[in-house]
Structure 1
Amino acid sequence: SGIFAINDNGTHWLDKIQPANDCLIHRGPDFHSTVLLGKAALGHCRLSIIDTSEAGNQPFVDSSGRYHMVLNGEIFNFKEIRNELLGLGYSFRSDSDTEVLLYAFIQFGKEVLNRLRGFFSFAIFDKQEDSIFIARDRFGVKPLYYYLNEDVLIFASEMKALIAAGIPREINPVALYRYFSLNYIPGSDSIYKGVKRMEPGTWMKVSSKGKECASYYTLADIHLQNNKPLNYQDACKQLEKALNEAVELRMISDVPLGAFLSGGIDSSIITALASKHTDHLKTFSIGFKDEPMFDETRYAKIIADKYKTDHTAFELSTDDMFDCLFDMLDCIDEPYADSSALAVFILSKYTRKEVTVALSGDGADEMFGGYNKHRAEYRMMHQGLLEKLVSLGSPLWGVLPQSRNNPLSNRFRQLNRFANAMKQSPADRYWSLCSISSANEVSQLLKYKDTGIVSDYISGLTNVFGYFDRMSSLEASLSADMNMVLPDDMLVKVDRMSMANALEVRNPFLDHKVVELAFSIPLDWKIDNYQQKKILKDSFKTLLPDEILNRRKHGFEVPLLKWFRGDLKDKIENHWLNPSFVESQNLFNPIYIQQLLKKVQSSNPGDSVAKVWALISFQNWWIKYHG
């Protein structure tokens, strides 16, 4: 966390650094400290991973006393950069990546960002120049929020620190519309006007002279490079080499390290590669005793046995999950309603008892076309008789029972979404396949009647929708996922849920060399008539048993419907969505909410469960921060 006074009016904010930093101790319980530096104040909470000695504590200051830095994350190639700096005459007092990054910035300036392999958000205060430089990693693995006006810049890894610093809290109606569309907030806007999320791959410098900001890395640049592999076999070899190197780099740690192992393709590949670089890899999976449709522990065990990992499967009942629900909701300091966050929270909580760092397979679905919506888009691009029949059956799918909690009704739900999506343009289709609620449904829910808000809520996302004008609809979908779904949903989920438990999660698929290779590969090497993530499976087929290679992708559904009809029914009706409380907020249409609650209790709940979950998550947040 940090505060920078742009002028004398901003200096009264500086003493807020302590309460802001105290909010982040869950992220770094090993050491925490703040420092006042004239026009700046910096705070840091440390999760000790590389050089666990006091020499690596932050805020970190260079030998001259001019530069002070705070870093959230890891620089995996720091030893290589350190050797280069040693050759240039620098000396070091620690073995930390923090010190290497600071001196590399002093030597190379903002160009250092292109040299880094890692995930990070960091800030460097130049005491002599009275300026501050902040930056975020290429794909947004590590978060960075900031509030900026003419007097002050306040920044932190989580919104709760900005709230503790006392920033103005006026709800951003565009962000609210987006939240209730997707169940998360996409893009650089946050739930509050005036608070922004730094976009992935960008930097900003602020001083009394003004603000400079720029992007140093975008996915669009990768598309322009056009470094396509010569042939399929060549691409498989390159992918195997790049991912193996990314895994090896991410095993650098001075504390215990393990890997998440769900039994899916992505985590199985990471486990197979990681086990090459250590003799005693610990792996962790989560099982659901009461939900056999979603229990994947059998597949995780196949991989664990093959690679002789020290494997732990946490077998949970529905009651065990429910016991963690309120702790998980309590982590959320900005509306967020991806219900699978509960599974990540629980897995992180139990994993942290054994290790401090875990490898994960995040990013592969977005890069290689692993989601159901990618298969749907492919089929719409290659329509045959079956697709046309599904489209013609639209009136039927609409009246059949729909729910995510039953295989047959879930299939009806998917057919209905597919048939409706076929009628739309590729960009509109992408948004609707990502959405939980349509624009019309959100308009019915919210009391805002400003038509400008309704048009703004999509038009502002140019870094997502711009792709649909210049490439095929499926390529555009993958690129849009990398720019929206990955940083704003998936990585938010992993960061908040793991760091709530002081567990660092590393994502080898998101090494920029792996991503660049993935986006140089032709689309038909990723997805065809028969399979998704084709090249990923072929590149690693010698490492994985057929049972893993050939199984269908499984999502995980938290048993929300069961809880909404049982354990949570009273709390929903008399607390979160109590009609008089809803009326007093003046945000929502109470009649629409009552209709949603009726649908949840009906024989055809459809997507009402996910919509009510978005409301619960919002209301829980509202009560905590606005109650």
Structure 2
Amino acid sequence: MCGIVGFTGTKNPAQITVALKSIANRGRDEDSIFSQNNINLGMTRLSIVDLQPKLFPMRYKHYVLVYNGEIYNYAHLKSKLEKAGITFRSKNDGEVILPLFDRYKEKAFAMLDGMFAIAIYDTRRQKLYLARDKMGEKPLYYTQYQDQLYFASELKAVLKLTPRRDLNHAVLGEYLSQGFVFAPHTLVNNVFCLKRGQCVCYSQTTQSFTRHEYWSSPISTLAPHSSTSDLIDELEGLLDTTVKSRLMADVPIGTFLSGGIDSSLITFFATIYKKDVNTYSVTFPHHPKNDERIFAQKASQWLSTRHHEIVCTPSSVKPIVENIGSLIDHPISDPACLPTYLLAHEARKAVKVVLTGEGADEIFGGYHHYWKELLAHKFKNSFGGKILQPATALLAKKFGRLQKITTTLATHYNTQGIFNAQEVTLLLGHPSSLIMPGILTKYSLTNPLLGMQLTDMTGYLPEQLFMKVDKMTMANNLEARAPFVSPDIVAFGLALPEYLKAGLFQGKWLLKKIAEKHFPKYMVWRPKHGFTLPLGEWLNGELSFVLRELTLLLPSVNYLNPGYYHNLIEGHRGGKANHADKIWTLYVLLKWMHEYKIKD
């Protein structure tokens, strides 16, 4: 794993060095620079595969590469290229990228099974190509300023290179509602984030962009003759193969193990190929509703791993909270950033890579809100639902409830729902359009589950969950890999019929049937337990400084309704309601704005 930065224009190694220092946390093993007329590229490396120095920036013919990520199918691609007469000088997975690009241009990115943010400069044609991986595990930001293109793995490096500082009010409502911003937009005007599966080409000759999506989520159906037992065996085989490929490394690897079905399965397959696997989980003393330690302990004992428990308390997260503006880099409002940072910090003492369970809920229908939406959809379209529609519409209008059965999925669906549309209007003083991807409209009537899955795989997964994992692990110089989002598993999961995913009160049914083969049933069929923390209680206790600091920060911005946010804070402080998610969302935004001097 690494960090990359770059810009077109006059040779300026000093400026690229400054930008590299701002993302040194992403790789402390080696810094590399390529600087000549028309292009400046930099890379800070966390050595994982082939640890020899001076491999980057890589060059092939008239191409130069800097890259952040891992290519898991590089051995297969390398073999094909060698048969075509191409020779290699290392065992690094990134070395296949340029010869592949030379042959197939942007189509090459679709051939890569991996996580990556790639920058390729064509010195002959004076074109710069940027690409983000298929599922969005690795971020890549860019902007055009004074006829030159600037890019980096982290937003703060782009801000280091350019004077971009204006808040993007157009997506502020989106952030307040969702807790993240859908790519390609960011909260900084005229600074963009590549969408997952997207490639951008910038021509220095014409000073223009071309953008296209080289990959999209595969939508197909399974062969009608596939039995449930066949599907279980097929998925188990895919998981085995995928996890094995994600163990590719010349450094120690561990796993984040919460004791839930996703991380337990990933760890099970890892232990087939690795002995004495280090596993890590968070505990919340005195908060049994949040604490999964007993499940993590049982999973670790069952799999004979070297388990490490990290205690998460207000005092242990206080330094992270105080520095959240700089750590978060671009606002995401997930409080799970705090325990994720603690996990990464502890894991880095023994390993350089961890496997995680991200993506399983989106791909296999694990979220509670999926089956709730499906129940509402079925009721709304039933005979009784149609008869009761006038009455439910009246109740919804009067009490602001029952939206699930009175409006279309595309109108009300919100993965997070931090501030609803009415609350956003009260906070901002004007209505704010919360536009969901068109994919939800396309499938909301015919296949609502698929519509929700694809929407979450477009926004929530890449722009919140993967951003959280990337920023918190990379802050600790640790690489995280998510086996569930391999292209083969994604295609398989999306093709499953609804009843094998979001069944009544039980999501991820097929995954649980696989887990039954390797774990006791009581570990498999327990209720889903999200990765949450008792933030509401902590904000009225040892973290109460957040409320005080927020009260001081809020008057400095002109676009928020003071009456509304004061009531919000006082309501939480007085115990009238738990507004922790709303308060945290505002706190992260304002701390980030203060840290990077973002102008409203």
Q: Which residue of 2 aligns with 1:409?
A: none
3-state SS in 2 of match to 1:532:
coil
Indicate which of 576, 580, 593 corresponds to 2:550. Answer: 576
Query: Following TM superposition, by how much is the alpha carbon of 1:296 offset from its aligned partner in structure 2, in angstroms?
Result: 0.9
Say which of 88, 96, 103 aligns to 2:84.
88
Q: Is the 8 A contact 1:201 1:217 kept in 2?
A: yes
Match of 2:260 among 248, 257, 264: 264
2:513 to 518, 538, 544: 538
CA distance in 1, matches of 2:310, 2:373: 36
- How many percent of aligned residue pairs carry the same amino acid? 30
More displaced stretch, 311-320 vs 350-359: 311-320
8 A contact 1:352–1:502 mirrored in 2: yes
Separation in 1, partners of 2:445, 2:394? 34
Flag the 1:263–1:224 CA change in 2: closer, same or farther, 3 A: closer
- C-alpha offsets along residues 352-399 of structure 1, whole Å, 9 cap, x if unaligned? 1110000111100011111121121132234499x999x999999999
Which structure has the highest helix share of the two? 1
Show CA shifts across 1:117-143 (max 9, x none): 110010111112211111111010110
In 2 relative to 1, CA 604–468 (structure 1 residues): closer, same or farther, beyond 3 Å? farther
Gap runs ≥5 in structure 1: 400-415
The letter for the 1-side match of 2:34 is V
2:495 aligns to what SS in structure 1? coil
The answer on whether the counterparts of 1:117 and 1:512 sit within 8 Å (CA) in structure 2 is yes
Q: 1:570 to 1:603 in 2, by over 3 A?
A: closer
Q: Describe how 1:1-12 pairs up with structure 2 within 5 A.
A: 1-5=4-8, 10-11=9-10
**DSSP-derived class of the 1:379 partner:** helix
Choose the corresponding residue for 1:592, options 564, 579, 594. 564
- Counterpart for residue 476 of structure 1: 451
List structure 1 segments (4+ residues) > 6 angstroms apart after TM superposition.
Answer: 391-399
For residues 42 and 106 of structure 2, what CA distance do their matches in structure 1 show?
A: 22
Instruction: Specify whether residues 320 and 308 from structure 1 end up closer, same or farther in structure 2 by C-alpha distance, changes over 3 A only.
Output: same
Which structure 2 residues correspond to residues 354-433 of structure 1 after superposition, within 5 A? Answer: 354-383=350-379, 419-431=402-414
Determine the structure 1 residue equivalent to 2:580: 609
User: Is the alpha carbon distance of 1:496 and 1:137 closer, same or farther for their aligned partners in structure 2, counting shifts above 3 Å?
Assistant: same
Letter in 2 for 1:353: K
Answering whether residue 416 of structure 2 is matched by residue 442 of structure 1, we say no
1:280 paired to 2:262 = no
Instruction: State the partner residue of 1:214.
Output: 212
Shift of 1:202: 1.2
Q: What code does the residue aligned with 1:618 have?
A: L
* Cα 1:229/1:624, change in 2 over 3 Å: farther
Aligned mate of 2:326, from 323, 327, 330: 330
Superposed, 1:165-180 pairs within 5 Å as 165-180=161-176
CA offsets, 1:446-481, max 9 Å, x none? 25x4x6xx23x41xx434534435632222111211
Return 499-508 or 311-320, whichever deviates more.
Answer: 311-320
Residue 92 (structure 1) shift: 1.7
The CA deviation string for residues 227-258 of structure 1, in whole angstroms up to 9 with x for no partner, is 66723222211111111111000001000001
Deviation of the 1:16 alpha carbon: 3.1
Aligned twin of 1:412 = none
For the residues of structure 2 that align with 1:188 and 1:84, how far apart are their CA atoms?
34
Q: What is the distance in 2 between the residues matched to 1:111 and 1:393?
A: 50
Residues 128-170 of structure 1: CA distance to partner in whole angstroms, max 9, x if unpaired? 2211111111010110111025711111111000000024222
* Paired position in structure 1 for 2:144: 148
Distance 1:539 1:229 in 2: 20
- 1:117 corresponds, among 105, 113, 118, to 113
Equivalent residue letter for 2:425: S
- Structure-2 separation of matches of 1:327 and 1:585: 20
Establish whether residue 28 from structure 1 lines up as the match of residue 2 from structure 2. Answer: no
Q: Which moved more, 1:44-53 or 1:92-101?
A: 92-101
For 1:591, give the aligned amino acid. Answer: G
What is the CA–CA distance in structure 1 between the aligned matches of 2:546 and 2:234, rounded to whole Å?
53
Q: Is the 8 A contact 1:376 1:418 kept in 2?
A: no
For 2:543 and 2:281, how far apart are their aligned partners in 1?
27
Query: Residues 229 and 169 of structure 1: is their aligned pair in 2 closer, same or farther, counting only changes over 3 Å?
Result: farther
SS of equivalent to 1:435: coil
Say yes or no: does 1:319 pair with 2:291.
Answer: no
CA distance in 1, matches of 2:268, 2:200: 39
* Structure 1 stretch displaced more, 486-495 or 538-547: 538-547
Q: Distance in 1 between matches of 2:298 and 2:400?
A: 35
Structure-2 change in CA distance of 1:204 and 1:487 (3 Å): same
Q: Decide whether the 8 Å contact of 2:440 with 2:452 is kept in 1.
A: no
Contact 1:68 1:124 in 2 (8 A): yes
Match of 1:413?
none
Output the CA distance in 1 between the equivalents of 2:311 and 2:5: 41
Relative distance call for 1:524 and 1:39 in structure 2 (3 A) is same
Conserved in 2, the CA contact under 8 Å of 1:318 and 1:559? no
Query: Partner amino acid for 1:471?
Result: T
With over 3 angstroms needed to count, the CA separation of the structure-2 counterparts of 1:77 and 1:55, relative to structure 1, is: farther
State the partner residue of 1:246.
242
1:504 deviates by 0.6
Whether contact under 8 Å (1:135, 1:202) holds in the other structure is yes
CA distance in 1, matches of 2:581, 2:400: 15
TM-score (norm 1): 0.88
Separation (CA, whole Å) in 1 of partners of 2:307 and 2:126? 51
**8 Å Cα contact 1:422-1:429 kept in structure 2:** no
1:315, distance to aligned residue in structure 2 (A): 3.1
Q: Please give the alpha-carbon distance, in whole angstroms, between the structure 2 residues aligned to 1:394 and 1:463.
A: 25
Aligned length: 588
CA displacement 1:312-360 (0-9 Å, x = unmatched): 2223434223344324443012222111111111111111111000011
Residues in 1 aligned to 2:505 and 2:546: alpha-carbon distance in whole angstroms = 46
**1:621 counterpart residue number:** 592
Preserved CA contact (<8 Å) 1:361 1:507: yes
